[in-house]
Amino acid sequence: MIDFKSPSYCDAYSRVNALVIVGEALADRHFRSLARLIPDDEEHLLRLAAMEGRHTVDFSSCGRNLGVKPSMATGKSLFAPLERLFRALENSRDVVGCLVLQGLIVECFAVAAYRAYLPVADPYARAITVTVIDDETKHLNYAECWLQAMGEQIHSQIVHICEKALPLTLSILKAMKSDLSAIGIDCTDLLAFFCEDFTQALFSVGIPLTDAHRLLIKTAAVEH
């Protein structure tokens, strides 16, 4: 049985919780940026952003429930490379790149992480995580539908941004492996969930499964 109040658990949780809070706050900002880039969908994207904002509040309350203060510096540092990449894409008005980064890669990573966390979460956090998984799936579905509608003309763009963003995303998992394990998360399960969800997301927008698998294998080789 997990001791949610043990010093070792709380120490690791302070960094994991911060990572989640920072990730959700950035997602809020990213969807607001996308609302400006895709004015036809502004209202819907602002609703998605508001969901992410609520997640930030909810996961902050999970830390307070355990009496843990999140190590925000850790979360900001780990997300900094992805945030710089998103800002560069946003500044160049690369809507496809922004949606692939936030809507496919980060959302798949979030869903995978929450799926892996759910079986080992404390009761308070478990109830919140169930709702968040459902919300994040809606965000993923939006990106899939938008990118799918653009057709084959953007497939090379999708692959290009994946080659840039996947190593940055998986480096977060590598950096957090010991802390994730300390709070009961099986990192192998998390990675398997991510690979499953991400390959399916790419397939849904028209990328062949073999190409999706090749991207992940290439990234894994670089990370190794």
Residue with tokens 């609302």: 35
pLDDT band at 224 (very low <50, low <70, confident <90, very high): very low
The structure's pTM equals 0.94
How many C-beta neighbours within 10 Å does residue 137 have?
14
Which sign does the torsion angle of CA 196, 201, 207, 208 carry?
positive
CA 138 to chain CA centroid, nearest Å: 13
Where do the domains of the chain lie, and which CATH numbers do they carry?
Answer: 7-223 (1.20.1260.10)
Residue from 17, 23, 51 nearest 169 by CA? 23
Residue 114: its H or E element:
helix 107-117
CA angle at 143 for the pair 218 and 111, rounded to the nearest 5°? 65
Report pLDDT digits (tens) over 185-206. 999 999 999 999 999 999 999 9
Report pLDDT digits (tens) over 152-177. 999 999 999 999 999 999 999 999 99
C-alpha 53/C-alpha 140 separation (Å) is 16
